[in-house]
Amino acid sequence: MLEEKKSLLNKIIYGGGVAFDLGKWVILGFVLFTIINTFFIAIFVVDGVSMEPNLHNKELVLWQKKAIAADSLKRGEVTLVNYPGDPVHKKYVKRIVGLPGERVDVYNGKVYINKKLFTEDYLPRDLSSEPNGTWKLKEDQYFVMGDNRPNSNDSRYFGAVESRFIIGNAIAVVFPRFMMVRDI
């Protein structure tokens, strides 16, 4: 009886045919994918034109979740944000412009951080940022804007975003064109 149990256990561990081996690898792959997607990185589909010309509608973007990236949120990075007005159902792709504790001014189509002109090399030179306004960020708030300023619902309209609404940073566009986000 003990020999039969050892034989069955050996068959399970070391193989029981091609279908069984394939099944083990499929289950292992699914478990690893679920763990990685839950805790580390995820794929998100860009919905809309608010980040053009850098990110386009329907592109698949690889995201580093905030659990890893909490200390690495920097100005100019592309981030995924839960929309503060409906955080359960709406997620936006935006770029971090203002950091906690800073003052952000939009005046005559230009963005100023702490009263200094903020140059954004990733945007066309003739792009105008409207409407005018001033925002003083608290210690847990970020000011986010889309790259397509005339067609972006962002912090100019819904206010600064608390850090709890930031899901993570974009790493790479994976489809239809592969490119690292830091290159845009």
pLDDT at 162 over 60: yes
Active site annotation includes 7: no
Q: With bands split at pLDDT 50, 70 and 90, how would you rate the model's confidence at 115?
A: very high
Q: Where are the domains of the chain?
A: 2-39, 41-176
The alpha carbon of residue 95 and the mean position of all alpha carbons in its chain are separated, in whole angstroms, by: 10
> Distance between CA 47 and CA 67 in Å, rounded?
24
User: Coil, strand or helix: which one is 102?
Assistant: coil
| Bridge partners (DSSP) listed for residue 121 | none
Place of tokens 């974009």: 170
Residue pair 66/165 in contact by the 8 Å Cβ criterion: no
> Distance between CA 125 and CA 119 in Å, rounded?
9
> Distance between CA 41 and CA 169 in Å, rounded?
9
The amino acid that residue 2 corresponds to is L
* Closest listed residue to residue 144, CA positions, set 124, 169, 121: 169
pLDDT digits over 4-49, tens only?
A: 666 766 766 666 666 777 787 888 888 888 887 777 788 888 889 9
Active site annotation includes 110: no
Q: Which two tokens stand for residue 57?
A: 């509608």
Q: Is the dihedral of CA 103, 107, 109, 115 positive or negative?
A: negative
Active-site entry in 58, 74, 90, 94: 94
The H or E element containing residue 4 is helix 2-14
Domain 41-176 has CATH 2.40.50.140: no
DSSP one-letter code for 122: T
Global pTM reads 0.77
User: Coil, strand or helix: which one is 21?
Assistant: helix
67-71, 137-141, 162-166: segment of lowest average pLDDT: 67-71
Residue pair 76/118 in contact by the 8 Å Cβ criterion: no
Active-site entry in 50, 129, 152, 155: 50
